């Protein structure tokens, strides 16, 4: 998936990079990332704020490469029938993603690393 991370790119190399990256990633909407493919416990991603933890960061001549732990919430969705025994409990989920940020445009590709 492609998105833009201009604040993270602008902060690259500064002492505020880690916090800026975390903050910008946590502002993304859950549907901007391939989280549905990362589900382990639930069947649907819940539209709640994300949590992000920067694991590694490096750069090449043209890109900034990030590996990030993403914390999100899922739900096991039942059929909504009166006798459906499926509990509607939210599940805490985690996945690791790689972000490749283009230094010229701040566009970023996000992909699961697992």
Domains of the chain: 2-77+87-112 (3.10.450)
Confidence of residue 86 (pLDDT cuts 50, 70, 90): low
- Give residue 2's pLDDT band: very low, low, confident or very high (50, 70, 90): confident
What are the tens digits of pLDDT across the range 7-28? 999 999 999 999 999 999 999 9
Instruction: Note the pLDDT of residue 81.
Output: 63
Percent of the chain with pLDDT over 90: 82
> Among residues 96, 93, 83, which one has the least CA distance to residue 54?
96
Predicted confidence at residue 1, as pLDDT, reads: 62
- Global pTM value: 0.88
Helix (H, G, I), strand (E, B) or coil at 100: strand
Q: 72 pLDDT exceeds 90? A: yes
Q: What is the mean pLDDT of residues 54-71?
A: 98
Mean pLDDT of 32-38: 95
Which long-range CB contacts under 8 A does 24-31 form with residues at least 24 apart?
25/50, 25/52, 25/68, 25/70, 25/99, 26/50, 26/51, 26/52, 28/3, 30/72
Supply the mean pLDDT for the chain.
92
């Amino acid at each position: 998936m492609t998105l833009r991370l201009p604040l993270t790119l602008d902060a690259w190399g500064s002492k505020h990079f880690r916090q800026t990256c975390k903050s910008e990633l946590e502002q993304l909407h859950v549907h901007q990332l391939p989280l549905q493919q990362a589900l382990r416990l639930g069947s649907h991603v819940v539209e709640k704020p994300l949590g992000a933890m920067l694991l590694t960061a490096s750069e090449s001549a043209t890109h900034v490469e990030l590996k990030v732990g993403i914390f999100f919430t899922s739900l096991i969705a039942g059929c909504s029938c009166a006798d459906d025994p499926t509990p509607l409990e939210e599940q805490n989920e985690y996945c690791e993603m790689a972000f490749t940020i283009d230094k010229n445009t701040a566009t970023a590709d996000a992909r699961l690393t697992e």
